[in-house]
Structure 1
């Protein structure tokens, strides 16, 4: 029998999620405003010294970052997990003597499932997959924001750039699982309750990286991710969609118009179940051919589709639900 939550527990969970949402939306901008403001006060030496150090530290995110167990193990992430709740499901053992690229789907609005499972210790990834180290790769531009970059690096987040991925897959030994949200900003624009759409047909860069470093491909699907917010979906060709696409092209991410349960910012208390599928064995090819890339990309799409259909009913969807790959 499920234990009844106390009112205090529900409040703590809500606050834990709210701080994460506000950090996702505003912390980067707040850090920029703070540093600029301090430059025009008597405290100007502080941001000056920081920016001098930032120049010297510029490449650190792509050279291994500054991951800390302290931040990843904050108690706040356990309350964050319990709010929805988020659950991590293992389908097979992973060999710690190999490297992996996890393709995470769908993006949703904020990747709550991927963050909880792979960027915190709240869902028990380390215990579930002993010897395997998960590293969530996100938009590289975020690591150029002063102060904010240091916070996200401490949580074990990395830029989704070629140098960063190469470092994780070649300089960190074996047992590395690099998590890439393949659909990115384009997929976030398709996020809506009841929708199971992934943007992947033209996304082959992660497969090429897997071949170059001999990293096995692992499909991951977070059931319930698209149910967390209601989004205003603009039709293709509309002014709203053109503005979103223009912003995405310039900034690298898409501005989604969404609303949650309370205060508009809180997501709905909908379970998110992140299922890690079976690895696809990938050979090492220093210069993979287009035929090889297409072959393993096709195998990956087939494996993702199989994973979705095998687990959709147990994760709350009906048998009639289908996965749409665009």
Structure 2
């Protein structure tokens, strides 16, 4: 296979963009493992007291991730995230005003391989979330496993990430006076196994937990569709029923995380690697769905609101798809 090398003369800012995206991919794939290794290495060295002190503080601080986390405006606003945004590039599009006196659940679709759009738009400030939605604080929900890893937990909390446990979501949604946004990638880890260019299949038909939460706390539901999310990585073919898919699904059921075999480009060449393609990502935030608080909703009420959510998500996609280079004859599929 002929390798398509990158030109030697590339503007320095583009090199910086690639470097920051490389750091982001590294953080997703191996930073947690590095943090565990560092913790063990320090414990076995003359600096053993450092992990001991950290573990003591960690025990005292163990409830923080489930109580809104510990976001850092400094980390969220770092200049390097500008390079992350401009690499793709990435944009956040508002379609309606949101009342800061209310709490919200943003349903993010599709999950993609590494939820790039959700990270850039809701875990940093470089696409202008605070300017578009003043008075609201986004909190991206992430698998609780990652909040049990030393040092790494503090890093992800600084971006506004919190565990995806019900306890964590309920803490956000019960906030008096509103102002909280729980951002949930509804398809979760299983949907990542379908992520590839052109894919419009969403894992949503049986995902109703977020609807029940919205009803219990009277939180408004907001559909969010990230055009281009599935375009930034390719994935090894893994159709339903294939040996690879069965292995991936088994690992996902045991570990709680999916392991898509994705690939895209490299640092100095465009033929292979784990760096995402430079494809635009446009994350469109839809109109809020009014939800009347009902602490004990029936299955029928949940199903009714769930169907309305699917209809609003479909409408959002259909209204904007041609703007972002999706063919008129392409439609969402729900499984």
- CA offset at residue 6 of structure 1? 6.5
Q: What does residue 70 of structure 1 align with? A: 74
Instruction: Tell me the C-alpha RMSD between the 2 structures.
Output: 1.2
Map of 1:16 onto structure 2: 20
Structure 1 CA distance, aligned partners of 2:243 and 2:277?
29
Match of 2:127 among 115, 123, 128: 123
Question: Retained in 2: the 8 A contact 1:190–1:233?
Answer: no
Q: 2:259 matched to 1:270?
A: no
Q: Which of 299, 304, 307 is equivalent to 1:290?
A: 299
CA positional deviation for 1:172: 5.9
Aligned to 1:320: 329
Deviation per CA, 1:182-238: give whole Å up to 9, x if none. 000111000010111110000000000000100010000000000000101312222
Distance 1:99 1:170 in 2: 8
Assess if the C-alpha contact under 8 Å between 2:103 and 2:175 holds in 1: no
Count of residues in correspondence between the two structures: 322
Instruction: Give the gaps of 5 or more residues in structure 1.
Output: none
2:96 is matched with which residue: 92, 111, 114?
92
Helix, strand or coil at the partner of 1:123: coil
Q: Does 1:211 align with 2:238?
A: no
Matched, 1:303 2:303: no
Whole-angstrom distance in 2 between the partners of 1:6 and 1:97: 47
Map of 1:7 onto structure 2: 11
Q: Match for 2:109 among 98, 105, 111?
A: 105
TM-score, length basis structure 2: 0.94
Separation (CA, whole Å) in 1 of partners of 2:31 and 2:89 = 24
| Cα distance change of structure 1 residues 170 and 105 upon mapping to structure 2, 3 Å threshold | same
Note the residue ranges of structure 2 that are not aligned, 5 or more in a row: 1-8, 268-272
> 2:289 matched to 1:280?
yes
Does residue 155 of structure 2 align to residue 146 of structure 1? Answer: no
| Structure 2 match to 1:83 | 87
Question: C-alpha displacement at 1:49, in angstroms?
Answer: 1.5
Distance in 1, matches of 2:302 and 2:287, equals: 19
Give the whole-Å Cα distance in 2 for the aligned partners of 1:98 and 1:171.
Answer: 9
Corresponding residue for residue 220 of structure 1: 224
Contact kept, 8 Å, 1:189 with 1:233, in 2: the verdict is no
Kindly indicate whether the alpha-carbon contact (under 8 Å) linking 2:201 and 2:333 is maintained by their aligned counterparts in 1: yes
Aligned mates of 2:240, 2:324 — CA distance in 1 = 31
- Runs in 1 of length 4+ with deviation above 6 angstroms? none
Distance 1:164 1:236 in 2: 33
- In the alignment, what sits opposite 1:187? 191
